[in-house]
Amino acid sequence: DGGITQSPKYLFRKEGQNVTLSCEQNLNHDAMYWYRQDPGQGLRLIYYSQIVNDFQKGDIAEGYSVSREKKESFPLTVTSAQKNPTAFYLCASFGGYGYTFGSGTRLTVV
Amino acid sequence: GESVGLHLPTLSVQEGDNSIINCAYSNSASDYFIWYKQESGKGPQFIIDIRSNMDKRQGQRVTVLLNKTVKHLSLQIAATQPGDSAVYFCAENRGTGFQKLVFGTGTRLLVSP
């Protein structure tokens, strides 16, 4: 089945550490996105990529970085510069008949 | 400014009732709207969408209404079931050349048996 796979489902980060969240899709979609969701809030756009080797900042990119070396993969790194990283992170892709979302990664700072 | 808002943060209904979830949007240039259902700890699940050249679209037990004059969107769920309990988001699709979804804060639907 086609879809988006995010891993891990739960991730714990110590203060000052960088962590990378994985997002893989087999939908052959060109566009991919990372969103952040805080409790009781909607989704806010962190970064997006329209095509391989290209990506753009979204509304809340500070403290995050991404890469897009392959069409299928769009990993998100949460750096130590992100002061409040505890949140639910969602990856999405767009193409064909619309948006598809992954099942999310819950990141907690310990 | 950019905003997609919801009038009611929580909606409680009885099983079998019809539910109506409302959403206001601010960008009159938006041309595509989507309703999502999100259960706890999961990603958003597509429910129904509508383009700006339509004012109504029906799916299975769900109907979306779009009023461009007042920039208002609603989701109607017929014969609401306990399994419909979730947070519902409207999202507004914007972008010239690039598709970007702007989400509202969500409405929690609670369905009592």
Spell out the per-residue pLDDT of chain B, length 113, in tens. 344 544 448 999 999 999 999 999 888 888 899 999 999 888 999 999 999 999 999 999 999 999 999 999 999 999 999 999 999 999 988 766 667 788 887 899 999 99
Q: Are A32 and A68 in contact (CB under 8 A)?
A: yes
What pLDDT, on the 0 to 100 scale, is given for residue A1? 57
Which of A10, A27, A99 best probes binding to B when mutated, by most B CB atoms within 10 angstroms? A99
pLDDT in tens, A90-103: 999 988 768 899 99
User: A60: number of CA atoms within 13 Å, CB side?
Assistant: 17
Nearest chain A alpha carbon to B45:
A101
Q: Which two tokens stand for residue A8?
A: 């891990």
What pLDDT, on the 0 to 100 scale, is given for residue A62? 96
CB-nearest partner of B100 from A42, A45, A103: A45
Q: Are B86 and B106 in contact (CB under 8 A)?
A: no
pLDDT in tens, A24-46: 999 999 999 999 998 878 899 99
CB-nearest partner of A104 from B42, B99, B100: B42
Q: What share of chain B is helix, strand, coil (3-state, %, to 5)?
A: 5, 55, 40
* pLDDT band per the 50, 70, 90 thresholds, residue A110: confident
Contact B89 A42 (CB under 8 A): yes
Contact A41 B105 (CB under 8 A): yes
Distance CA B12, CA B20 (A): 11
What pLDDT, on the 0 to 100 scale, is given for residue B2? 40
pLDDT in tens, A45-92: 999 999 999 999 999 999 999 999 999 999 999 999 898 999 999 999
State how far the alpha carbon of A96 is from the alpha carbons of A30, A33, B37, in Å: 10, 15, 21
From chain B, which residues contact A within 8 Å (Cβ)?
A: 4, 34, 41-46, 49, 89, 98-101, 103-106
What pLDDT, on the 0 to 100 scale, is given for residue A41? 80
Phi-psi region of A25 (alpha: psi -120 to 50; beta: other; left: phi over 0): beta
Which of A11, A43, A48, A93 best probes binding to B when mutated, by most B CB atoms within 10 angstroms? A43
CB-nearest partner of B103 from A42, A56, A103: A42
Distance CA A107, CA A19 (A): 9
What pLDDT, on the 0 to 100 scale, is given for residue B55? 96
| Angle at alpha carbon of residue B37, lines to B35 and B41, rounded to 5° | 145
